[in-house]
Structure 1
Amino acid sequence: MLESLRNIVQQVNAAKDFGEVLRLIVQLVKEVMDTGMCSVYLYSPSTNSYVLMATDGLNPNSVGKVHLSSREGLVGLVASRAEPINLEEAEAHPNFAFFPETGEERFRSFLGAPIIHHRKVLGVLVVQQQDRRRFDESEESFLVTVSAQLAGVIAHADATGELDQLLNPQQAVIHERIYPGVASAPGVAIGTVVVISSPADLKAVPMRKVSDTDAELALFRHAMEQTKTDIRALDQTMVNKLSEEERALFDVYVRMLDDHSMGGEVLSLIREGFCAQSAWSQVVLGHIRLFKSMQDAYLRERASDVEDLGRRVLAYLQQSEVKRTVFPERMVMIGEELSAASFADVPLENVAAIVSVKGSRNSHMAILGRAIGIPTVMGVIDLPWGRLDGEEVIVDGHTGQVIVSPRDELLQAYTQQIYEEKLLAADLEKLTDKPCVTADGHHVSLWVNTGLRLDSMLSLDRGAEGVGLYRTEIPFLMLDRFPSEEEQRKAYREHLEMFAPRTVTMRTLDIGGDKDLPYFPIEEENPFLGWRGIRICLDHPEIFLVQLRAMMRASEGLNNLSILLPMISNVPELESALQLIYQVYDELTEEEGYQIEMPNVGAMIEVPAAVYQIRELARRVDFLSVGTNDLTQYLLAVDRNNPRVADLYHACHPSVLRALLAISEGARGECTPVSVCGEMAGDPIGAVLLMALGFRVLSMSATNLLKVKAILRQVSLVEATKLLEEVMLMPDADSVWRHMEKALKKPDLAALFRGTAMH
């Protein structure tokens, strides 16, 4: 059974479209289970019924015509119960329903398994037998396993619109599609998609049409000839190194490029109006799927050879491509995995929004989006990005949604929201020079999280009182090697000077988890619980000591540096780091003669272990800083960047609030200053709760600073404390959130809550 399952999964993964997936499933399951029929019924929201969408054994003309409600027939019973049903004599069951158009009267035994994704029944997979047959436990388990595998494929087809097109083939109008992702930089934008492709990546080639087919034909033929020349040259270098039989493969590759083979298929697509890159990638990907679906192991391995050949030709096509010079005024950059390099050939002033299929809130592109103030959504895994070039989309950086082909009503609503946000931003600007003092006279210091020069300039414009978190990994990400001590010193000096005399809290190198350096890859099965933050720095003192030297040298004459140690989980770890800091300070001042004041040193509280040792840690440092992003993630065992569980992540969770109270009380008990530098601090509701919990320094993205100031100036500490007492008794995050929102959503504060949910 396991080998059969592997074969089914392999062939399904190689299918060219969703329709073929369904046809393969029913055919292969029927063969493996040696039964008379296999069918797939899928849920149709438009008819609120389960529709027969593929069958091997029933009348094929009934596909798309048989509809069952959630309680109609045995299929409806499986769907309503959300569990398998195994019947030796199906007709004897009271739920049996007869549909003559299916030819179902020939079948007596029935086994159905629900297809479930995220608690939602998407369909039912059914096998039936002409004779009386009790399907055994292993067969039932096999069908359930196949259904579980199929669920993800159907969910993806639903997200991309393929399922809707299959259920409603007569529907010519393309309805709007909403694709969820990870909200990474706030704001809303409406614009035209420009797809940013990765070099020589066949799957990253968007489907584009062209008007000058002759130019594309010439471009393709030139790329083919260059590739053939390369292959023949490679063949010659392998003389006396490979056998004649092995070298014969090179001749096969050359023949595959001829007009009567793959080359001919590409030429046909170009003549239909597709650009050379699009045509080539589609043909090659089709051949790769074909090879991967073959039973013979040797032929399956040839898929990688076809892929290599495809990349070679694509590289030449991309080299010859005339770079785009005209961009839409409001362009939405979309790509599979965007990076800072994606901005190289794009006018920044035209960029209205950023969308990346891969990545998280902590990706460099997301940080850049927040710094520049461009709405950004990362991790939109189901987005059919390659087919969106030139499409109009809405990007909602508050909720993490990307809306393709929006209705006029939705466009009007979002246009109005953009207008209102501009009015709000203009209104908030008036608060820049005003102090952040509560309605009853308590001061809360608002600092910023930064790492880019542009971000820092925006922070100063917003009236930031200091830097609570400077991400020192940014200079490391900008290079293809570790930056030298002097390169680091210059980068740090620039920020220290920019904010002087305000404090700049520099977090030491925090890589690992989802932040990898390309020249220092860390491959782990569970990176968030692995080698990251201070653990790497202590294991590599040659990196850590250079960074500490650069920081301290950069602070000479300014003395506004504070050093923050990330991912501290125990006392020995902290003491080891402190020892190295004191070592560097002694070297610089006593041996090298630098006139530097010893910077304040703090520890980040972002793992549960640190919460329960808060007083031991507090008495060893000058200050503490709470990273609510990781603390929430670790306390709730939820990866906020994983869309499957992201809805379980909430900084208002009672466990998180209780941990924050313990931190605040522990730090106060040791008279150690404590701040918050996570996303919770930049959320209006989160800021009110943190103030009530006893935190008086909040550090956030510059784009959120004025919103937080606006709400704190209109809420009294007495009111906030009363609200905290009420929510600390509540059982779940949603209850806390609703209570806070209801209490604080006054008419003059309503606009501040748009898109806030701390998810």
Structure 2
Amino acid sequence: MRGAYGGPRVLLRRLREVMTEPATAQERLDKIVVLIASNMVAEVCSVYVLRVDGTLELYATEGLNRAAVHLTSLKIGEGLVGLIAREAEPLNLADAQAHPAFAYRPETGEEIYHSFLGVPVLRAGNTLGVLVVQNKAHRTYSEEEVEALQTTAMVLAEMIASGELTALAKPGAEPVLRRPVTQSGEPLSDGIGLGHAVLYDSRVGGTKNLISDDPQAELDRLDTAFVTLRSSIDDMLDRGDMQRGGEHREVLEAFRMFANDQGWVRRIREAVLGGLTAEAAVERVQSDTRARMQRMMDPYLRERLHDLDDLANRLMRALAGDVGPAAMNLPDNAIIVARNMGPAALLDFERGRVRGLILEDGGPTSHIAIVARALGVPAVGQIANATSLMESGDAVIVDGDAGQIHVRPMEDIERTYAEKVRFRARRQRQYAALRDKPSVTRDGKTITLLLNAGLMVDLPHLAETNAAGIGLFRTELQFMVADSFPRTGEQQALYSEVLDAAKGKSVTFRTLDIGGDKVLPYLRAISEENPALGWRAIRLGLDRPGLLRSQIRALAKAASGRELKVMFPMVTAVWEFDQARALFERELTHLRRWGYDLPERVHLGCMVEVPALLYQLEPLMERVDFVSVGSNDLFQYLLASDRGNTRVASRFDTLNLPFLRALRSVVRAADKANVPVTLCGELASRPLEAVALVALGFRAISMSPSAIGPVKAALLALDTERAADLVNERLDDPKAVGSLREALSDFAAAEGIPI
């Protein structure tokens, strides 16, 4: 294919010149269609842009009647242009008018043209418009011409994505990608965040440099990146834990097969030879693939899209030199947008610049949500296609209270949320005024309010909230953010800092709770059918006593001369606690023998989070110094509701009667044995749920720092006896089913309890 300007690479260079010229958006579009028509020896070139109302509007044309620009429009699926937009596939016809989908528009004057080539304008798999060339002669365009037009469409996609064309649109008819978007998801962390989007994933669709000056240099870069990609996959397969057969290895073998697919490689190389940079070529091919696969009905094939996306992202990272979060240039008000994120990843960002977090996955009890709450970062999960909804730099609002996001919000929405932020600040000042007020209910019951923590960044909240102490210190977070297994000395230094920062207030350390969904990158992963029910927490500690002994030694040394409280997670049977206690005592004996100063007093406790333990409470209470209910895991195991699976995580109410009966049984058993009991799950962080816990008999609850103020305000207005009468009446009724939420909400409203 050769035209007046000598082929696609020359056309791309001319287009780049046009894009940098000082001109209005309409003038630039008009020049672009003239250039494309001339290069492809076409008598017509037209650009249709998809609007927010679902119609395709003619934005520019060379060859058709210019008066039809901004007047002619088609719905998605209507006419040949609408068909291309719906199917996201090129359409190449020798006689367009003979096609059953042809829709005649008399104002355009297109009845004299027969041959037709149209391609979708795509970005990250989303259709933004349609680019068309036409000729009077009956002809079928060559594959090279189709490829060239698809490549050219990328330039138009960038122009639409930039928002430049919005000025040409009437209100309500803006280009679809630049429209304001509101989506509801799952609230993960309370708060309101206003800022600008930063795409965490190196996803396809993020490159800005599209046009190459040296195709051979780009091919060399691409080939090097492919070598890096395949080598990384080979390394994964060569690891010791992958040597054995099994489903996990089969998945990686399929992944390697995709990475070596010559069709995929060839399409990317052809795009580079057509004049694109290596990054733009990967983007072009993956955007086309994503658009096709998103429209497939076969769930297996749609699932493979994730594999291809991952491969494209890995290839993009290889081209970029694998830039990580720490090297990202964040704005002062960054809203991090990602498909998913491990709990340690959020800590890689400069903390003072992060205003919010948006995830395509993630549930409220997932560990990234827990970290977000600890950092005070508003977060929303379960936002479908989040990384394709916005561009880096787009204005975004994260409403962690309502579980909503607003992308490119209208001015009135932005003003409303700015006022909401000011209101929250006033409310926080009201909560701050309660800081030194004792946590005593209206009828005189003292409730101990504690914090959940896991990193040094959490510790200033002790002074800010005046909490009574730390009811749960998650020691695994230190391991999850480290590049290698922390040595005993490193662990001791952290635990000592925590105790120093607590300034005599109680701190309860939970021993290492890894396994399941909390994987340490430097430890050999174990493939399990049901990781949440597998080799994790105390099971791993008892089977690999070296890990647990190292931590016990660090804790004991750090608490020299001070009180030490330690609890063991996921205990299922009393004998597991017995073994853990024996291991602890042997370690203390060892330290004593070598002359180390020991803690002044040691309290060993147990997490109640496995339902089997509910039937061993009496012998358990004879052995422990205290118990702590882990409501997150106890709820998921009792209700068979995976807390990381959003399809079922919201299926059961945390105030349902069976769960509350289980909690009450723990309180009663502890009270009977005179054993202190605390609840340290996320359940305690919500005022209404905290009211229920106090009504059940809990007198110590541990929560996220931001919850201290709201929970204290609710408890100060609570008459404990009246609430207990309401709760126990329902729990004592053997025929009662359902949830207490509605009745408790009505009670709170009648009593004037702020929830």
Q: In the alignment, which residue of structure 1 is the partner of 2:637?
A: 634
- Mapping of 1:601-680 within 5 angstroms? 601-680=604-683
Offset of 1:319 from its aligned partner? 2.9
Counterpart contact for 1:681–1:687, Cα < 8 Å: yes
TM-score (norm 1): 0.65
Offset of 1:406 from its aligned partner? 4.4
Structure 2 residue matching 1:537: 3-state secondary structure:
helix
Offset of 1:391 from its aligned partner? 2.8
Offset of 1:325 from its aligned partner? 7.6
Q: In the alignment, which residue of structure 1 is the partner of 2:122?
A: none
Structure 1 residue matching 2:380: 3-state secondary structure:
strand
- Is 1:523 the counterpart of 2:527? The answer is yes
Q: 2:187 aligns with which of 171, 178, 183?
A: 183
Q: Hey, what's the Cα distance between the residues in 1 that align with 2:731 and 2:647? A: 28
Offset of 1:278 from its aligned partner? 4.5
- Is 1:575 the counterpart of 2:604? The answer is no
Q: In the alignment, which residue of structure 1 is the partner of 2:298?
A: none
Structure 1 residue matching 2:586: 3-state secondary structure:
helix
Offset of 1:262 from its aligned partner? 3.4
Offset of 1:328 from its aligned partner? 4.0
Offset of 1:276 from its aligned partner? 5.6
Percent identity among equivalent residues?
A: 32
Q: 1:542 aligns with which of 540, 546, 552?
A: 546
Structure 2 residue matching 1:619: 3-state secondary structure:
helix
Q: 2:728 aligns with which of 720, 725, 728?
A: 725
Q: 1:693 aligns with which of 696, 700, 705?
A: 696
Residue identity matched to 1:714: A
Offset of 1:484 from its aligned partner? 1.0
Q: In the alignment, which residue of structure 2 is the partner of 1:262?
A: 268
TM-score (norm 2): 0.65
Counterpart contact for 1:332–1:354, Cα < 8 Å: yes
Q: In the alignment, which residue of structure 2 is the partner of 1:314?
A: 316
- Is 1:205 the counterpart of 2:212? The answer is no
Q: In the alignment, which residue of structure 1 is the partner of 2:373?
A: 370
Change (3 A) 1:645 1:313: closer
Counterpart contact for 1:196–1:342, Cα < 8 Å: no
Offset of 1:196 from its aligned partner? 1.5
Offset of 1:667 from its aligned partner? 0.9
Change (3 A) 1:620 1:326: closer
Structure 1 residue matching 2:356: 3-state secondary structure:
strand
- Is 1:280 the counterpart of 2:282? The answer is yes
- Is 1:222 the counterpart of 2:217? The answer is yes
Q: 2:353 aligns with which of 337, 347, 350?
A: 350
Counterpart contact for 2:204–2:309, Cα < 8 Å: no
Change (3 A) 1:256 1:399: closer
Q: Hey, what's the Cα distance between the residues in 2 that align with 1:352 and 1:620? A: 46
- Is 1:425 the counterpart of 2:428? The answer is yes
Offset of 1:560 from its aligned partner? 2.6
Counterpart contact for 2:215–2:275, Cα < 8 Å: no
Change (3 A) 1:542 1:326: closer
Structure 1 residue matching 2:740: 3-state secondary structure:
helix
Measured against aligned partners, the alpha-carbon deviations of 1:223-265 in whole angstroms (never above 9, x if no partner) come to 4224447889999xxxxxxxxxxxxx9xx9999989xx63442
Measured against aligned partners, the alpha-carbon deviations of 1:206-238 in whole angstroms (never above 9, x if no partner) come to 445x4x656xx2487534224447889999xxx
Q: Hey, what's the Cα distance between the residues in 2 that align with 1:712 and 1:726? A: 21
Q: Hey, what's the Cα distance between the residues in 2 that align with 1:404 and 1:516? A: 33
- Is 1:445 the counterpart of 2:444? The answer is no
Counterpart contact for 1:219–1:276, Cα < 8 Å: no
Residue identity matched to 1:505: T
Structure 2 residue matching 1:493: 3-state secondary structure:
helix
Offset of 1:344 from its aligned partner? 7.9
Structure 2 residue matching 1:599: 3-state secondary structure:
strand
Offset of 1:597 from its aligned partner? 2.9
Measured against aligned partners, the alpha-carbon deviations of 1:565-599 in whole angstroms (never above 9, x if no partner) come to 11111111111111111111111123434233341
Structure 1 residue matching 2:451: 3-state secondary structure:
strand
Structure 1 residues not aligned, in runs of 5+: 1-44, 47-51, 65-100, 103-168, 199-203, 236-248, 294-301, 754-759
- Mapping of 1:100-179 within 5 angstroms? 177-179=181-183
Structure 1 residue matching 2:646: 3-state secondary structure:
coil
Change (3 A) 1:276 1:546: same
Q: Hey, what's the Cα distance between the residues in 2 that align with 1:707 and 1:232? A: 54
Change (3 A) 1:345 1:596: closer
Structure 1 residue matching 2:445: 3-state secondary structure:
coil
Counterpart contact for 1:553–1:594, Cα < 8 Å: yes
Measured against aligned partners, the alpha-carbon deviations of 1:378-408 in whole angstroms (never above 9, x if no partner) come to 4545434475433333322234333434455
Q: In the alignment, which residue of structure 2 is the partner of 1:555?
A: 559
Q: Hey, what's the Cα distance between the residues in 2 that align with 1:288 and 1:413? A: 36
Q: Hey, what's the Cα distance between the residues in 2 that align with 1:514 and 1:322? A: 22
Q: 1:196 aligns with which of 170, 178, 200?
A: 200
Residue identity matched to 1:318: A
Change (3 A) 1:610 1:291: closer
Measured against aligned partners, the alpha-carbon deviations of 1:542-584 in whole angstroms (never above 9, x if no partner) come to 1011111111111002x23201111111111111111111111
Offset of 1:506 from its aligned partner? 0.4
Change (3 A) 1:573 1:341: closer
Offset of 1:654 from its aligned partner? 0.5
Offset of 1:331 from its aligned partner? 2.1
Greater shift in the superposed pair: 485-494 or 328-337: 328-337
Measured against aligned partners, the alpha-carbon deviations of 1:22-67 in whole angstroms (never above 9, x if no partner) come to xxxxxxxxxxxxxxxxxxxxxxx99xxxxx9999xxx999999xxx
Residue identity matched to 1:222: A
Greater shift in the superposed pair: 329-338 or 224-233: 224-233
Counterpart contact for 2:183–2:405, Cα < 8 Å: yes
Residue identity matched to 1:224: L
Q: In the alignment, which residue of structure 1 is the partner of 2:745?
A: 741
Q: In the alignment, which residue of structure 2 is the partner of 1:392?
A: 395
Counterpart contact for 1:360–1:366, Cα < 8 Å: yes
Residue identity matched to 2:320: Q
Change (3 A) 1:230 1:277: closer
Q: Hey, what's the Cα distance between the residues in 2 that align with 1:697 and 1:733? A: 27
Structure 2 residue matching 1:637: 3-state secondary structure:
coil
Change (3 A) 1:586 1:344: closer
Q: Hey, what's the Cα distance between the residues in 2 that align with 1:312 and 1:286? A: 18
Q: Hey, what's the Cα distance between the residues in 2 that align with 1:474 and 1:703? A: 19
- Is 1:489 the counterpart of 2:495? The answer is no
CA RMSD of aligned residues (A): 4.4
Greater shift in the superposed pair: 616-625 or 640-649: 640-649
Measured against aligned partners, the alpha-carbon deviations of 1:103-134 in whole angstroms (never above 9, x if no partner) come to xxxxxxxxxxxxxxxxxxxxxxxxxxxxxxxx
Q: Hey, what's the Cα distance between the residues in 2 that align with 1:718 and 1:747? A: 13
Counterpart contact for 1:331–1:350, Cα < 8 Å: yes
Offset of 1:464 from its aligned partner? 1.1
Counterpart contact for 1:664–1:693, Cα < 8 Å: yes
Q: Hey, what's the Cα distance between the residues in 2 that align with 1:256 and 1:691? A: 60
Change (3 A) 1:262 1:499: closer
Q: In the alignment, which residue of structure 1 is the partner of 2:156?
A: none
Q: Hey, what's the Cα distance between the residues in 2 that align with 1:663 and 1:287? A: 54
Q: 2:475 aligns with which of 454, 463, 472?
A: 472
- Is 1:504 the counterpart of 2:507? The answer is yes
Measured against aligned partners, the alpha-carbon deviations of 1:417-446 in whole angstroms (never above 9, x if no partner) come to 322211110111011111101112111111
Residue identity matched to 2:582: Q
Q: Hey, what's the Cα distance between the residues in 1 that align with 2:750 and 2:432? A: 20
Q: Hey, what's the Cα distance between the residues in 2 that align with 1:305 and 1:393? A: 28
